[in-house]
Amino acid sequence: MRSCVPRLLRKHAWVDPEQGKRLVITLLDRCVESMREIAPSARNLQALVVAHLEDHPGAQETFDLVLNMVQDFLNDSGVRVLPLDVAAGQVRALRFRPSMGWLQMR
């Protein structure tokens, strides 16, 4: 799914909230469709949401709104959402090992 993220983000600017919502839904839709094309016989698609929140007052509220939208979309698409990994404060590093089936935020 990583391959669809940079292509989409380069084409769009975050101008207003409605455009941002459409971008997120379009991004998710493209990622889910890419996964279905790569593995058409897959029956148990899962998503792990990892987020790092900026240290400002509106970060949690914005995150909650986006998370609800993302979870609703993924559930409607038949993708099971695994437990969240959310952190705030200092910058963290992501480690992703698809062959091992894990994603860590440190």
How many domains would you assign to the chain? 2
85 and 105: one domain?
yes
104 and 71: one domain?
yes
6 and 19: one domain?
yes
Tens place of pLDDT per residue across the chain (106 aa): 444 444 444 444 455 667 777 888 898 899 889 988 988 998 888 888 888 888 878 888 888 888 888 899 999 999 999 888 888 888 888 888 877 778 877 8
Are the beta carbons of 106 and 93 closer than 8 angstroms?
A: yes
CA dihedral 13, 35, 76, 41 (to 10 degrees): 170
57 and 39: one domain?
no
pLDDT at position 12 is: 45
For residue 16, what are its two tokens?
């207003």
pLDDT at position 94 is: 84
Sign of the alpha-carbon dihedral angle for 11, 85, 64, 90: negative
In terms of residue numbers, what domain contains 13? 1-43
pLDDT at position 106 is: 81
